[in-house]
Structure 1
Amino acid sequence: MLNKRLPQDLAGWLMLVSDAEIPILRQTVRRLDKARQQVERVNGRDITDIVLQDPLLAVRVVAFIQSVGSKHLRSDITNIASAVMMLGVEPFFRTFEKPLAIESMLSQQPQALLGMLQVVLRAQRASRYAHEWAFARHDMNVEEVALAALLHDLAEILLWCFAPELAMEIRSLLHADRNLRSASVQQQVLGFPLADLQLALCEVWHLPALLTTLMDDGNGQLPRVQNVKLAVNLARHSVDGWTDAAIPDDFAAIEKLLHISRETLLARLQLPPELLPGLMSGPAAGRSASPNRLA
């Protein structure tokens, strides 16, 4: 299923990804099949819960909504619950019938599948953090912030899907030299940083401007964007444990955003008790690129 003749520039990648069928997680396929079998007992909240565990399905749902209905109505659909409500339960199942599972695409490349699943795990964790912090900040639409965090590293996930060899090359280079900047390595391997592909896909899929703004780190002066970015950072730095040198800086920024103490933050994160002494007093340190980070 993988395209071996890969594009050489951003425009080519944009065409490849935007024209392809976006796969979803096999677990999501199974959950959808189970829900479809009892459709008379399934409601919009049940479907939303399934979609929000899978960034690949989430972007498919949002992109599909942008292709139907009026321009004014589309601009108001900035979270999955609203999208599902607009579609309706039975039309949703008809629209997303027999989706392709990413595990099938990468069945012959177990290391690539593992790399992709690690990024999905990060995205799920980032979305959860973003949701919790947005709620604590009394954000006007918590679900928007959570969705933006879930989709923040979508281009990286798609790279693992459609060009796993290149994704593994980027990861290897970052492993070999922790001082390298991810964007620089992506530029070297792909010819552009993944953030550029991410924003270009948002435009091609006509994703709501608000959602695109929340995913764009260039808007970091906005508290809601800070919420998303800090959730993404902490998820990335903690995915392999809580010893990354960047975590103290993450904590300090989160405490500033939420106006809480280190003790309160650690309590909210619900970390194992044995980790707390070191994290309570750990000195701030310079950020280092986590080896599993591509974006």
Structure 2
Amino acid sequence: METGKPFDELLAEQGAGMKLAERMRRLRDLPPLPETVIRILALRQHEEVNARDLIDIVEQDPVLAAQLISYANSAFFTHHSPVTAIDDAVLRVVGVSPALELALGLSVGRVLHISTDGVLGARRLWRHATYSAALMQQLAGQIPAAKRPDPGTAYLCGLLHDIGLFVLGYLFPQEHQALSQLVQRHPDVALNRLEYNLMGVSHGELGQMAMRYWDMPQMLATVARHHHNTDYDGEHETLIGLLNLVEALLSSQGLTDTPVLELDEALLERLGLEEENVILIADEVIQAGDSLEQLARQLCA
């Protein structure tokens, strides 16, 4: 931690904590979800998603179509000919269910525009999100079948788990900037401690409230709220445990908002994963980073 003024004194200078009533009132200032998101959410309610319906939605959103095609051309898929059409991306490469979740995450991600630069700026947040999503998707497929989450759902959770930091930057830009400065000055202090002392609320809570305000799936609200909770024990514990594992794997690469974390052997055992295989998969994701960096840049645009 930086020497000089005591930590608590520095926090006091940044301003008083945010009151619950103020937080709830400002949620009304969130932008409405775009039509693309509403249509995808409606489609997601179907027991079996019609591929043609999804393709029709994506084709009417040129930005989303370009992002989905870009992802289909990434190193994660072992195809030989370039993907140039949404039909190919959905049906031949990505798959209908994963493409649906990817389209939902990318569409929600474009709703909140915040400052690009800084340790909590959009550039770093989307970089973390795209790596997290890819690693979540790859690792989900290795979990034993009895508790294995859908890889597309795992991807969606990885992409949107930090949505609360975007909510903070959008609704409370001054507090977002102050928090970013504190993170830079005190990299060894847990982010949630900095948040509670500065604002009286964590980005997890803000993310949960935004997901509820938008009437997003309960799973996403729970993941947004508890993704840093290593003791979470509930309906979505596999997804949240996987996010904790991903956080540890990416921390050594400087791709998280946390200090370097050790892999938790008990967590690996609960998920049914082998450490050697997990590290190998993480290396493969990092090696395929060019396509993830491109997707992160698109989300910042």
TM-score interval (norm. to shorter): 0.5 to 0.7
Q: Specify the alignment match of 1:64 in structure 2.
A: 38
Distance across 2 between alignment mates of 1:16 and 1:159: 10
Q: Specify the alignment match of 1:224 in structure 2.
A: 239
Residue aligned with 2:152, SS: helix
CA contact (8 A) 2:36 2:57 kept: no
CA contact (8 A) 1:123 1:232 kept: no
Choose which of 124, 131, 149 in structure 2 pairs with 1:125. Answer: 131
Choose which of 187, 201, 206 in structure 1 pairs with 2:196. Answer: 187
Distance across 2 between alignment mates of 1:260 and 1:156: 30
Residue aligned with 1:119, SS: helix
Q: Specify the alignment match of 2:157 in structure 1.
A: 148
Shift of 1:226: 1.2
Residue aligned with 2:132, SS: helix
Q: Specify the alignment match of 1:269 in structure 2.
A: 282
Match of 1:247, as an amino acid?
Answer: L
Q: What are the Cα deviations for residues 63-104 of structure 1, in whole angstroms up to 9, with x where unaligned? A: 5248x85xxx76459x9x9897296345556998xx8894xx
Q: Specify the alignment match of 2:29 in structure 1.
A: 19
- C-alpha root-mean-square deviation of aligned residues, in Å? 4.3
Shift of 1:126: 0.9
Distance across 2 between alignment mates of 1:196 and 1:227: 19
Distance across 2 between alignment mates of 1:216 and 1:191: 15
Shift of 1:254: 5.7
Question: How high is the TM-score relative to the length of structure 1?
Answer: 0.56
CA contact (8 A) 1:126 1:232 kept: yes
Distance across 2 between alignment mates of 1:100 and 1:215: 16
CA contact (8 A) 1:156 1:194 kept: yes
Give the direction of change, closer, same or farther, for the CA distance of 1:113–1:270 in structure 2 (3 Å limit): closer
**Count of residues in Structure 1 that have an aligned counterpart in Structure 2:** 215
Shift of 1:239: 4.5
Q: What are the Cα deviations for residues 238-282 of structure 1, in whole angstroms up to 9, with x where unaligned? A: 34279x8643235x356424544433222222279xxxxxxxxxx
Residue aligned with 1:248, SS: coil
Match of 1:135, as an amino acid?
Answer: G
Residue aligned with 1:155, SS: helix
Q: Specify the alignment match of 2:291 in structure 1.
A: none
Structure 2 residue 178 is matched with structure 1 residue 169: yes
Q: What are the Cα deviations for residues 115-153 of structure 1, in whole angstroms up to 9, with x where unaligned? A: 221011111111111101111124352111210121111
Distance across 1 between alignment mates of 2:53 and 2:162: 23
Match of 1:229, as an amino acid?
Answer: N
Match of 1:248, as an amino acid?
Answer: E
Give the direction of change, closer, same or farther, for the CA distance of 1:193–1:224 in structure 2 (3 Å limit): closer
Distance across 2 between alignment mates of 1:86 and 1:10: 41
Shift of 1:160: 2.9
Unaligned ranges ≥5, structure 1: 1-6, 23-58, 273-295
Give the direction of change, closer, same or farther, for the CA distance of 1:61–1:149 in structure 2 (3 Å limit): farther
Choose which of 46, 54, 57 in structure 2 pairs with 1:88. Answer: 57
Give the direction of change, closer, same or farther, for the CA distance of 1:142–1:182 in structure 2 (3 Å limit): same
